[in-house]
Chains A and B, each alone.
Chain A
Amino acid sequence: MSRSKSVIMLPLVLMWSLIYGVIGGLFFKSLSVYEFWMISNRHHIRQWKRYPVRHYRQFTTAVLIGRMGAKAWSSLPITRNQITWEYAHAPFPYLVILCNTLLALLYLPFALLSGAWNGPSFVFTRIWQKRTQALTLGSGLQSQ
């Protein structure tokens, strides 16, 4: 009986997984890209606002690495002094936000593809697991 039920259920579950999985996958993946963008930006803004010294140190180090390039190591203290003289405070992280936005936009199509691909398998596995659990629970109760 349960086997014949499974034969009927399987195509229905497959169909549902495909439809709901693709739509849900696309939607949730785009949401996940937005979530990543939000979290990453919030991290930098928070650091700039609440941990200015730390942010300033990270900023000057990044500029120093960029400027040192092929320069001799002996010029490191002078370059560092120049940077601290040029920038009294770390600027608002506009550049980081811009980079994050570009990265998110670049990643979005791939994320959507992976959402459409992985969504159906996720839905199918979930439904089938629940069904198997319900069946084993039912047979356990019957045997009691």
Chain B
Amino acid sequence: MKKKPLILVVEDDRQQSDLVIEVINETERYHAIPAYDGEEALQILKSHQRGFNFLSNKIECILLDWQMPKMNGELFLKTLRNEEGNSPFKRHIPIVICTAYHDKERQALARDSTLGLASGYILKPFEEEELLGLLERIVIHKEAEILREILIERDQRWARELDRVSQRREHD
């Protein structure tokens, strides 16, 4: 029997974490594992290494909460990508950021601070279909890298647009 792809859910709120895990496991296509802060998530990733850590991790995707007490999403993301940076030819684990920030400024800040290190971005409260659709594209269709590129391009477009608006204001 083929093993189900593993999804790591990094969320400090246990109720929300249980809910997301239930939604993911109910599909019977993936198996979700919880982690309640960034440090625990790094430990779990370490225990799921493959082939002397030369091969890509057993975890296929990480759903990452942005606001966490011990090690927040941004720090976790940067630590992970720094570690992965030591082996440039290895596949980076796709990450989907889950956050409750609604205003565009905070979104842009969060996106900018990740420097395009994530493959997706969903706002809480999100629909089941939105989450599962994203997971399908990342885990089943293996489109994480394309999604990441699209996210970076969109950010660059936003930045250019913001620049244009601020320049126009200065001009006026």
Interface residues of A (CB under 8 A from B): 21, 24-25, 27-29, 31-33, 35-36, 39, 42-43, 46-47, 50-51, 54, 107, 111, 115, 118-119, 122-123
Number of residues in B with C-beta < 8 Å to the partner? 16
**Smallest Cβ-Cβ distance to A58: which chain B residue:** B149
What residues of A have a CB within 8 angstroms of the CB of B90 in the complex?
32, 35-36
Taking a contact as CB atoms closer than 8 A, the residue among B52, B55, B146, B150 that contacts A35 in the complex is: B55
Taking a contact as CB atoms closer than 8 A, the residue among B87, B89, B142 that contacts A42 in the complex is: B142
- Nearest-neighbour CB distance to chain A for B154, whole angstroms, equals 12
What residues of B have a CB within 8 angstroms of the CB of A27 in the complex?
51
Interface membership of B143, Cβ < 8 A: yes
Q: How far is the CA of A25 from the CA of B141 in the complex (A)?
A: 30
**Smallest Cβ-Cβ distance to A115: which chain B residue:** B54
- Nearest-neighbour CB distance to chain B for A114, whole angstroms, equals 9
Q: How far is the CA of A74 from the CA of B91 in the complex (A)?
A: 41
**Smallest Cβ-Cβ distance to A36: which chain B residue:** B89
Additional 6 contacts, C-beta under 8 A, given A35-B56, A119-B52: A39-B91, A43-B145, A46-B142, A46-B143, A46-B146, A51-B146
Query: Judging by beta carbons under 8 Å apart, are B146 and A43 in contact?
Result: yes
Q: How far is the CA of A111 from the CA of B91 in the complex (A)?
A: 15
**Smallest Cβ-Cβ distance to A47: which chain B residue:** B146
Q: How far is the CA of A27 from the CA of B51 in the complex (A)?
A: 9
Interface membership of B53, Cβ < 8 A: yes
Q: How far is the CA of A139 from the CA of B56 in the complex (A)?
A: 36
Query: Judging by beta carbons under 8 Å apart, are B146 and A32 in contact?
Result: no
Q: How far is the CA of A2 from the CA of B104 in the complex (A)?
A: 60
